[in-house]
Amino acid sequence: MSILFVSATDDPGPWLRELNRLLPEHPVRVWPERGDDAAIRYAVAWKPPPGLLASLPRLEVILSLGAGVDAMLADPTLPDLPLVRMVEPGLVLGMTEWVAAQVLYWHRNQHAYSAQQARGVWQPLDEFLAQERRVGILGLGELGAAAARALAALGFDVAGWSRSPREIPGIACHSGPDGLAALLARSDILVCLLPLTAETRGILDAELFAALPPGAVVINAARGAHLVEGDLLAALAGGRLRGASLDVFTEEPLPAGHPFWRHPAVVVTPHVAAKTHARTAAASIAEQIRRHERGLPLENVVDSRRGY
């Protein structure tokens, strides 16, 4: 019963090492090498080529290397099998660090001070305490809830928004379409950590920006297609927004010459907010394979109707 590892962007070396250590009874093949297709029971995959998973006749479980499964669900031939998304401590810690770094960067005027330093300007700006800065988090799942807790621990005034009602101590939780307006109206810094679904595609648009307090900052670490890029550029140009930190883009890598590269109010990182590291994540894959083989229910299974 073998495992097929499929990723065009992840180094298979550390995964082979960890999976062989944790699951020695399961040979691991690294795509495009497949061996005997009929021996493959598990696919551990990030953006597998459309049709690949459907071509494996005895596949039983698909384990996503990423937390977001939008690319996987976009494959019309995706087999009707359990799809387990990635939930693991390294991903949570990585995202919490990236979000905290971006929030602190804008909160402490680092963007303005870096620009001043480049011009040799010594000019203290108005500074605020964290408790005076209202942060809103779209998505209160594994990553959003952890980021919310960390920001609250730093003293920020944090609220969040989810599809169903949530309760997180110290966080003002809003939910559903009716809860969105209240969250936006009080978000000086807005962080997007939603899954990309039919309901959330394009959510970061002109209408949403207009509902934020003037001069707000938008931080997107979810998916590029959450953002209407032209609307962001217009909101920055009009002064409606102060700045943006973006880790994800409609087209990745971000094409040369894209206006975000040189925009003075946009921070760009190359989809690195939270990476899935084999040294922490292989254990969660091994755990789900063991559960499957013991007849226990799988965890973190995607609901394909919901889209996440």
Alpha-carbon separation of residue 151 from 99, 157, 168 (angstroms)? 9, 8, 13
Q: Which one of 223, 242, 277, 292 is the catalytic residue? A: 223
Q: Which of 171-176's residues contact partners 24+ apart within 8 Å by CB, and which partners?
A: 171/140, 171/145, 173/140
CB of 205 within 8 A of CB of 230?
Answer: no
Phi, psi at residue 94, to the nearest 5°? -60, -45
Closest CB to ligand GLV among 10 and 231?
10
What residues from 257 to 296 belong to the interface with ligand GLV (CB under 6 A)? 276
Spatial separation of the C-alpha atoms in residues 35 and 29, rounded to whole Å: 7
- For residue 41, the minimal CB distance to ligand NAP (Å) is 25
Q: Which long-range contacts (CB under 8 A, 24 or more apart) does 278-281 make?
A: 278/14, 278/15, 278/17, 278/18, 278/19, 279/14, 279/18, 279/90, 280/88, 280/89, 280/90, 280/91, 281/65, 281/86, 281/88, 281/90, 281/91
Residue 31 near which of ligand NAP, ligand GLV, none (CB within 5-8 Å, type-dependent)? none
Q: What's the min distance (Å) between Cβ of 282 and ligand NAP?
A: 17
**What is the rounded CA–CA span in Å between residue 141 and residue 143?**
6
* Minimum CB distance to ligand NAP smaller for 41 or for 277: 277
DSSP state of 52: T
What is the x/- site pattern for ligand GLV, positions 65-94, by CB under 6 A? -xxx-----------------x--------
Active site residue 271: yes
- Sites for ligand GLV among residues 224-263 (CB under 6 A): none
Number of residues that bind ligand GLV (CB under 6 A): 5
Window of 32-40, 64-72, 196-204, 237-245 that interacts with ligand GLV by CB under 6 A:
64-72
Q: By C-beta, is 240 or 275 nearer to ligand GLV?
A: 275
Each residue 124-163 as x (binds ligand NAP by CB under 6 A) or -, in order, gives: ---------------xxxxxx----------------xxx
Active-site annotation holds for 29: no
Q: Which does 28 bind (CB under 5 to 8 A by kind): ligand NAP, ligand GLV, none?
A: none
Tell me how many residues contact ligand NAP (CB under 6 A): 31
Distance of closest approach, residue 183 Cβ to ligand NAP, in angstroms: 10
For residue 30, the minimal CB distance to ligand NAP (Å) is 23
Q: Which is it for the CA torsion 201, 206, 212, 214, positive or negative?
A: positive
* Site pattern 250..269 for ligand NAP (x: CB under 6 A): --------------------
**Residue 161's binding partner, choosing from ligand NAP, ligand GLV, none, with beta-carbon cut-off 5 to 8 A by kind?**
ligand NAP
User: What ranges in the chain are assigned the alpha helix state H?
Assistant: 12-22, 70-73, 89-107, 110-118, 142-153, 176-185, 206-211, 229-237, 259-262, 278-293
* 189 secondary structure, DSSP code: E
**Residues pairing with 245 in the sheet:** 219, 267
Name the site residues for ligand GLV (rule: CB under 6 A): 66-68, 86, 276
Residues designated as active site: 223, 271
